[in-house]
Structure 1
Amino acid sequence: MKTLTLLRHAKSSWDDAVQRDFDRPLNAKGRRAAASMGRHLRGEAMAFDHLVASPAVRVGETLDGFSSGYGRLPDAVEDRRIYLASAATLLEVVHGLPTAASRALLVGHNPGLEDLVLMLVPAGGGSRGAVEEKYPTASVAEMLFAVEDWADVRAGGGELVRFVRPRDLDPTLGPDED
């Protein structure tokens, strides 16, 4: 049995005058959401034995905030392929996870993460409808796979057992009212 948890980076700042999208930092709400999600998953006794992440600045800052609430995480393996990746590319990353890892955390971006969940979980499975509606920043999806090797993870072969959005934990972390 393998467990794959997907964490979308927290809300980033569009106000910062960085030159590249890759370098965008988190905003204050994003930092709060990352820490809140970390606290929540710690409280749910979730554990990870492997972590792979996009090297984008907002992902690194999300992990910093997340770990401040969660506690110690495995050292992150940065994989450039995750940056703004498609679901197909993310599935290649999953297929390459170490066989010895049973509970992997992948941290990246949308729309790839949302599309990966929709690819891996059959229609009508768990909270799939909520994922179809929107996979907000700092949200977590946890899927189970009845496989021994990550290379055997296939489309429609997952069970979505958890989908948590920051607003589920704290309404002030929900969408901004404009």
Structure 2
Amino acid sequence: MSLRLILVRHAKSSWDDPAQTDHDRPLNRRGQKSAPLVGKWLASNAHIPAEVVSSTARRTLETWERIAPAFPDTTLMRRDPRLYHAHVATMLSVLHGCAASPVMMLGHNPGIGEFAERLLANAPKHPRFRDYPTCATLIAEFDIADWAELKLGTGRALDFAVPADLA
């Protein structure tokens, strides 16, 4: 049996309001346009999440809101405050608690890019994988029956894209 992960960094966010807290920053116009592209790409490639777990930051939740219309209404979505600027160990712990497959996890750099890299046995040959830009999306598969069994370095990259690939 295998489980699948869709790992998404939030779309491009706005820095227009210097008084706004980091947690409350919204998407900018570019982010508002790129998130739906990712959703359509995922759906057209049959990468439909059964469970979504997201950071509680406004920009990750807005990213999900713009990706979600590409999927059926049956997708379970939950917000997890531990994913806000999470480190690899925290993301791994959150994923260990997931039940469905595919799981979509939405988070932030630098943690999500490092998590993507450390999850895989071999990185995809994409020039942007190492810097994991905004709305970068990895599809990875693991030969496990339960997320609690997941170990770093065991994943297989099935696909990786950034919004510039999809425009």
TM-score by length of 1: 0.87
2:132: which partner in 1? 135
Runs of 4+ residues over 4 Å off in structure 1: none
User: Aligned equivalents of 1:129 and 1:160: distance in 2?
Assistant: 14
Counterpart contact for 1:11–1:29, Cα < 8 Å: yes
State the Cα distance separating 1:76 from its structure 2 match: 1.5
Residue 53 of structure 2 aligns to a residue whose secondary structure is: strand
- Name the structure 1 match of 2:6: 5
**What is the CA distance between 1:18 and its match in structure 2?**
4.4
State percent identity of aligned pairs: 36
**1:45 to 1:18, Cα distance in 2 relative to 1, 3 A:** farther
Which position in structure 2 is the counterpart of 1:33?
Answer: 34
TM-superposed CA distance for 1:117, in Å, is 1.2
| Structure 2: gaps of 5 or more residues | none
State how many pairs are aligned: 165
- CA–CA separation in structure 2 for the residues paired with 1:125 and 1:60: 27
Deviation at 1:139, TM superposition (A): 1.2
Matched, 1:159 2:156: yes
Counterpart secondary structure, 1:135: coil
With normalisation by structure 2, the TM-score equals: 0.92
What is the correspondence of 1:10-159 to structure 2 with a 5 Å cutoff?
10-68=11-69, 70-72=70-72, 74-98=75-99, 101-122=100-121, 124-127=122-125, 130-132=128-130, 134-159=131-156
Deviation at 1:129, TM superposition (A): 6.3
